[in-house]
Structure 1
Amino acid sequence: MHKLNGSFSTGYALLTGLMLIALAPASSAQESKEPDIVPAGETKTPKTRVLELGAKLLQSNSPLKRFDIYLVGFHPMKDSPEDQMEAHHYCHQVNEDFAQCALFDGNTADANLNGIEYIISEKLFASLPEEEKKYWHPHNGEILSGQLIAPGIPNMAEKSLMKGKMNSYGKTWHVWDTGHEGKLGTTLPLGEPMLGWSFSRDGEAIPGLVEKRDKKLKIDTSEVRKQREDLKQYAKPQSGVDDLKGKFSRPTRDIPGVIDQGNARSLPHTTE
């Protein structure tokens, strides 16, 4: 069995140090993604703006200050996989095994809060009741494909961060459909929450979805993927990899190193 080298906190410590060294280039690398939906309602009045200013000066926003890790990835909905969206995560690493994220449809001041995601280590996932595990999506496909990124930080720091999240799982609920790829969202959060999932095979993403993100944020997912090839050695079979298998009309291909736990028994045994 592979031994997971590194942890969430180890990766984050290196991330913080390198950001201090390379603050200028890191800041200039991040591009903007404006939201596609403007919430329904009237423009703020001067009175409301004054009240906001007073609250900013007199009240604390302590719970939000520690949401200091920024990730961008993609979420298909588990019950309707062709409904796919770009997801901007603002996360706080609570401890070695648990993180919590607020999800937005962009990274500007006007971005809409449209969901939440909790991230746990494989150790905590293994402790869950079997009935609960169906809500948690695997992360290895997102990481090894290069689709999950931490924009604007040095490559070495980003890779360390992703290494620490190998074999982890996320539980994602989108409570507002602010727009899926090719579909306009609603101007208010309507209906039931949607369980978000992850891509575990090439070809599952709607053509153009990843490329559009790359163009806006000025990155190259294919190049990121090459830089992460050595992370495959840390990948273990995960639950949920096959949950969307066969649910797309277009051909899909396996991502090397991304294996469903249900198929692990048929693999030849290897040791390191």
Structure 2
Amino acid sequence: MTRTWTPSPARTPAAPALLDGRALGGLAAGAALAAGVVLARRVAGVARGSHGTSLRLRALDTAAGVLQRKRPLEAVSTCLNGFHFYADDLGRQVEATHLCSHRRPGLHQCVIYDSDAPDARLIGVEYIVSEERFRSLPEEEKRLWHSHRHEVRSGTLVAPGVPQAAEHAHVEHLAGTYGKTFHTWQYDRDDEVPLGVPQLMMAFTGDGQLRPDLLRARDQRLGVSAERKRRQRADVAVGGPVPGADAWEHGTTPQLRVEEVPVRRPVRPSP
């Protein structure tokens, strides 16, 4: 008797198991927990920033902090810490925490605080342009700008909390850029509120200019080492500053002063 072989019916691959109720519940709980953490951090940050104000104002600040979008601040991508000095006074040196966003190719914009604490004072602004853009500026305008070459290579400009390789790539990009900085709050005078007119600030261009005590205190507080970063950035290659920047090095510099001027009023035609 001849025996015939009949193949077994092909097995259909099992369909991926759908998430059961327990898994879905876990995902929902995880998402809720993450959202709760973000919300709690936002509320805590607003509360710390509102320290010392009335209960009513703190409640209003907290509600606005939770409900409102702050899109320009959400675009901030980088926190940089460095030092500035008043353009006309090399002895007046201050630490500056920059929160920067990339406005367009060749242009960054930064808001500057005296620290990274929730209740930090907003002390100024800085605009950063590429070398190509800087070269295109009028000669008088260039005098308001400073180079970043020494800040980067000396290790004094840092990005706290960023891995060394990522920080290196970022500051290497900044080494050939130029900044225009105005401080609106002269907090080194311990003023309770911003007094006077904004002041043009500059950056250091060589060793021996920055006060060692300022650098040491910053490094200890942030847990960084400018000296170690200097060694790590020895490979950052950048040419000399473009003529026109760092005007203070030549003995004179622009600076803002108050001047009384006539008020212009629109001329309206007679009826």
TM over 0.5: yes
Say whether the 8 Å CA contact 2:125–2:181 is kept in structure 1.
yes
Q: 1:236 to 1:61 in 2, by over 3 A?
A: same
Aligned residues: 203
2:241 to 222, 225, 237: 237
| Displacement after TM superposition at 1:110 (Å) | 1.0
Give 1:100-111 correspondences, 5 Å limit.
100-111=109-120
Larger radius of gyration: 2
Rounded Cα–Cα distance in structure 2 between residues aligned with 1:142 and 1:67: 21
Cα-to-partner distance string for 1:169-195 (whole Å, 9 max, x where unaligned): 00000000112xxxx421110011111
The answer to whether residue 196 in structure 2 is matched with residue 191 in structure 1 is: yes
Cα distance in structure 2, aligned partners of 1:167 and 1:77: 22
The equivalent of 1:72 in structure 2 is: 81
SS in 2 for 1:90: strand
Matching residue of 1:258? none
Moved over 6 A (4+): none
Q: Which residue of 124, 128, 136 corresponds with 1:127?
A: 136
Gap change, CA 1:190 and 1:242, over 3 Å in 2: closer
Single out whichever of 68-77 and 46-55 deviates more from structure 2: 46-55
Query: Given the superposition, is the C-alpha separation of residues 46 and 124 from structure 1 closer, same or farther in structure 2, using an over 3 Å criterion?
Result: same
Deviation sequence 1:171-222 (CA, Å, 0-9, x none): 000000112xxxx421110011111101001011123111111111111111
Which segments of 5 or more consecutive residues in structure 1 lack a partner in the other structure?
Answer: 1-38, 248-272
More contact order relative to length (CA 8 Å, sep ≥ 6) = 1
Considering only aligned residues, what root-mean-square deviation do their CA atoms show, in Å? Answer: 2.1
* Residue 216 in structure 1 maps to residue 221 in structure 2: yes
For residues 6-64 of structure 1, what are the alpha-carbon distances to aligned partners after superposition, in whole Å with 9 as ceiling and x for unaligned?
xxxxxxxxxxxxxxxxxxxxxxxxxxxxxxxxx9x993112112222232233221111
Which sections of structure 2, spanning at least 5 residues, go unmatched? 1-48, 253-271
Q: Which residue of 2 aligns with 1:54?
A: 63
- TM-score with structure 1 length normalisation? 0.70
What does 1:138-153 align with in structure 2 at a 5 Å threshold?
138-153=147-162
Aligned-partner residue type, residue 238 of structure 2? Y
| Contact kept? 2:135, 2:242, Cα under 8 Å | no
Q: In structure 1, how many angstroms separate the alpha carbons of the residues matched to 2:172 and 2:159?
A: 12
**TM-score, normalised by the number of residues in structure 2:** 0.70
Letter in 2 for 1:238: V
Could you tell me which residue of structure 1 aligns to residue 205 of structure 2?
200
- With over 3 angstroms needed to count, the CA separation of the structure-2 counterparts of 1:164 and 1:104, relative to structure 1, is same
**Structure 1 residues 153-168: aligned runs within 5 Å:** 153-168=162-177
Correspondence list, 1:11-26, <5 A = none
